[in-house]
Amino acid sequence: QLMEFDEPLNLMKREGSLFGELVKEYWFHASSSTGN
């Protein structure tokens, strides 16, 4: 379902696998790029 993509965090918690790590890294780099 496309719903999963609508809530990446929910999917991350549910998966808790490599995908979760990728999402975490993505968000981390994305936040750093914004100049947080």
- Global pTM reads 0.38
Residues in the chain: 36
Which pLDDT value is given to residue 20? Answer: 73
Q: How many domains are there within the chain?
A: 1
**3-state secondary structure (DSSP) of residue 2:** coil
| pLDDT tens digits, 1-36 | 555 555 666 765 665 667 778 888 888 888 888 765
Residue 27 belongs to domain spanning: 2-33
Which pLDDT value is given to residue 15? Answer: 57
